């Protein structure tokens, strides 16, 4: 049995790894020159964004352990997340776990008993609604903690974001160590994508780049061939296909699929700025910048739910973001030189970075839309928002579905 995995993003890589571990022959086909998908590595090997994992991301962390890359993920802020509020230039730290809020120095702004009750209600399963209006009675807590969490996890403004999706996240944050924050020390390329590819190859899997699937040939609800334009691959009776492509690509290949109707952008800025280290991770309020990841080799900024930022001219957004992140770096005494003039900056705008996670009926695309084809992708998770954890979960679930169907 050969499984053809279409798409080498995180979901496709997780699926391919699970399949080779199960002893299946795997051929991985990727349209882009490199693997990684939305978590792709930039030319210098670092990832595009400020991707982070939490201790609650069990499947993603387990994958890192299986490929021998767990030690490449470090905890940059064990003493609490440093936050600079540009409204009043107050610098403080926030514990990500409510247990840490027993220390007054680690409490988020606006914390009160009523705010905690409102947050707990969002964590409970129930009617799906917009988060912003539900937190309207606690504006400071919403502004200083809930809204940044929503934007980071759901990539959707909290005024329109789904409480059911946020609840699924919150319910996973109660375990021991669940809120510990980890980032890739060197980037998703060297600390996730490359070691996954190496493990797949070591177990006999192969990858082909520049291979965009043009058409899926079907007969009697089975895939019989994969048309890549210049060549076609026959899919034998014992073979299978795992489709791990973005939703619009999946719908192009399988027009009957229901896919998200709206998407939200993410804007990432990467500055060529050397620091002596260590790795740091900062948050900002009332700012263009939301998250700042400082590595010795460069500084990255993420603007999630970045509708306005995606429309802004790249030549203007770089200096503006640098002014903000420089203020945060100085406020928390980050090592190195932080000049007023912005260093060279690369701006990457992903206009369809993730689905817009709005209230309403959740998509539940079939895991096996055809008898020998499984569907994966962070957008296919029935409840979690589109994250690395959701991508890994979906890839592993698709692999299991094919193994059961064999």
Please tell me whether residues 363 and 390 are part of one structural domain.
Answer: yes
> What is the SS3 assignment for 199?
helix
Q: Is a pLDDT exceeding 90 seen at residue 382?
A: no
Q: Are 155 and 357 contacting, i.e. CB atoms less than 8 angstroms apart?
A: yes
Do the domain assignments include residue 182?
no
Q: Is a pLDDT exceeding 80 seen at residue 45?
A: no
Do the domain assignments include residue 177?
no
Give residue 273's pLDDT band: very low, low, confident or very high (50, 70, 90).
very high
Please tell me whether residues 227 and 374 are part of one structural domain.
Answer: yes
Please tell me whether residues 21 and 161 are part of one structural domain.
Answer: no
Q: If you average pLDDT over residues 285-294, what whole number do you get?
A: 96
Q: Which of 336, 355, 374 is the last residue of a domain?
A: 355
Do the domain assignments include residue 203?
yes
Please tell me whether residues 243 and 289 are part of one structural domain.
Answer: no
> What is the SS3 assignment for 217?
strand
The DSSP symbol for 108 reads: P
Do the domain assignments include residue 73?
no
The DSSP symbol for 332 reads: T
Give this prediction's pTM. Answer: 0.96
By mean pLDDT, which of 6-20, 29-43, 270-284 is the weakest?
Answer: 29-43
Q: Is a pLDDT exceeding 70 seen at residue 43?
A: no
DSSP string covering 274-331, please?
A: ------EEEEEESSS--EEEEETTEEEEEETT-HHHHHS-HHHHHHHHHHHHHHHHHH
Do the domain assignments include residue 74?
no
Q: Are 226 and 232 contacting, i.e. CB atoms less than 8 angstroms apart?
A: yes
Please tell me whether residues 156 and 206 are part of one structural domain.
Answer: no
Q: If you average pLDDT over residues 386-391, what whole number do you get?
A: 96
Q: Which of 172, 195, 230 is the last residue of a domain?
A: 172
Please tell me whether residues 268 and 306 are part of one structural domain.
Answer: yes
Please tell me whether residues 389 and 251 are part of one structural domain.
Answer: yes
Do the domain assignments include residue 285?
yes
Here the CATH number for the domain that contains residue 13 is 3.50.50.60
Supply the range of the domain harboring residue 27.
2-47+187-261+359-405
Q: Is a pLDDT exceeding 70 seen at residue 136?
A: yes
Query: So what's the pLDDT on residue 66?
Result: 98
Q: Are 302 and 268 contacting, i.e. CB atoms less than 8 angstroms apart?
A: yes
Give residue 176's pLDDT band: very low, low, confident or very high (50, 70, 90).
confident
Please tell me whether residues 30 and 143 are part of one structural domain.
Answer: no
Please tell me whether residues 310 and 233 are part of one structural domain.
Answer: no
Please tell me whether residues 253 and 379 are part of one structural domain.
Answer: yes
Could you tell me what percent of the chain has a pLDDT over 70?
99
Please tell me whether residues 340 and 363 are part of one structural domain.
Answer: no
pLDDT tens-digit readout, 253-265: 999 999 999 999 9
Give residue 361's pLDDT band: very low, low, confident or very high (50, 70, 90).
confident
**Per the omega criterion (within 30 degrees of 0), is the bond before 405 cis?**
no
d(CA 30, CA 47): 18
Residue of 31, 37, 27 lying closest to 1 (CA atoms): 27
Do the domain assignments include residue 153?
yes
Q: Is a pLDDT exceeding 80 seen at residue 42?
A: no
Give residue 143's pLDDT band: very low, low, confident or very high (50, 70, 90).
very high
Do the domain assignments include residue 71?
no
Please tell me whether residues 6 and 25 are part of one structural domain.
Answer: yes
Query: So what's the pLDDT on residue 44?
Result: 64
Within 8 A by CB and 6+ apart from 41, the residues are 34, 47, 48, 187, 188, 189, 190, 193, 194
Give residue 48's pLDDT band: very low, low, confident or very high (50, 70, 90).
confident
Query: So what's the pLDDT on residue 50?
Result: 84
Q: Which of 119, 147, 172 is the last residue of a domain?
A: 172
Total tally of structural domains belonging to the chain = 3
| Residue 120 falls in which region: left (phi positive, over 0), alpha (psi -120 to 50) or beta | alpha
d(CA 269, CA 72): 23
């Amino acid at each position: 049995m050969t499984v053809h995995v279409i798409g080498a993003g995180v979901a496709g890589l997780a699926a391919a790894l699970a399949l080779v571990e199960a002893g299946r022959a795997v051929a991985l086909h990727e349209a882009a020159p490199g693997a990684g998908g939305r978590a792709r590595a930039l030319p210098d090997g670092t990832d595009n964004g400020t991707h982070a994992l939490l201790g609650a991301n069990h499947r993603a962390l387990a994958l890192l352990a299986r490929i021998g890359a767990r030690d490449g993920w470090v905890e940059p802020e064990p003493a609490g997340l440093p936050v600079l509020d540009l409204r009043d230039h107050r610098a403080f730290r926030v514990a990500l776990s409510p247990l840490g809020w027993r220390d007054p120095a680690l409490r988020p702004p606006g914390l009160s008993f009523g705010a905690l009750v409102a947050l707990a209600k969002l964590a409970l399963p129930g009617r799906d609604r917009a988060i912003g209006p539900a937190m309207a009675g606690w504006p400071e807590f919403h502004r200083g903690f809930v809204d940044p969490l929503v934007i980071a996890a759901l990539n959707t403004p909290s005024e329109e974001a789904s409480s059911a999706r946020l609840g699924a996240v919150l319910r996973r944050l109660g375990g021991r160590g669940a809120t510990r924050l980890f980032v890739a020390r060197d980037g998703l390329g060297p600390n996730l994508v490359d070691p996954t590819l190496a493990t797949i190859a070591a177990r006999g899997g192969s990858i082909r780049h520049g291979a965009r699937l043009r058409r899926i040939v079907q007969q009697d609800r089975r895939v019989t061939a994969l048309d890549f334009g210049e060549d076609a691959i026959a899919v034998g009776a014992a073979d299978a296909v795992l489709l791990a492509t973005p939703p619009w690509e999946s719908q192009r290949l399988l027009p009957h699929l229901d896919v998200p109707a709206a998407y939200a952008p993410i804007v990432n800025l990467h500055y060529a700025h050397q620091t002596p280290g260590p790795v740091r991770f900062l948050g900002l309020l009332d700012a263009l910048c939301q998250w700042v990841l400082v590595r010795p080799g460069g500084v990255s900024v993420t603007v999630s739910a970045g509708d306005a930022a995606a429309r802004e001219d790249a030549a203007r957004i770089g200096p503006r973001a640098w002014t903000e992140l420089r203020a945060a770096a100085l406020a928390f005494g980050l090592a190195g030189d932080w000049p007023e003039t912005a260093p060279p900056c690369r701006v990457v705008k992903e206009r369809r970075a993730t689905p817009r996670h709005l209230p309403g009926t959740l998509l539940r695309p079939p895991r096996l839309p055809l008898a020998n084809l499984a569907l994966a992708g962070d957008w296919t998770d029935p409840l979690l928002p589109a994250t690395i954890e959701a991508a890994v979960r979906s890839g592993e679930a698709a692999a299991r579905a094919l193994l059961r169907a064999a």
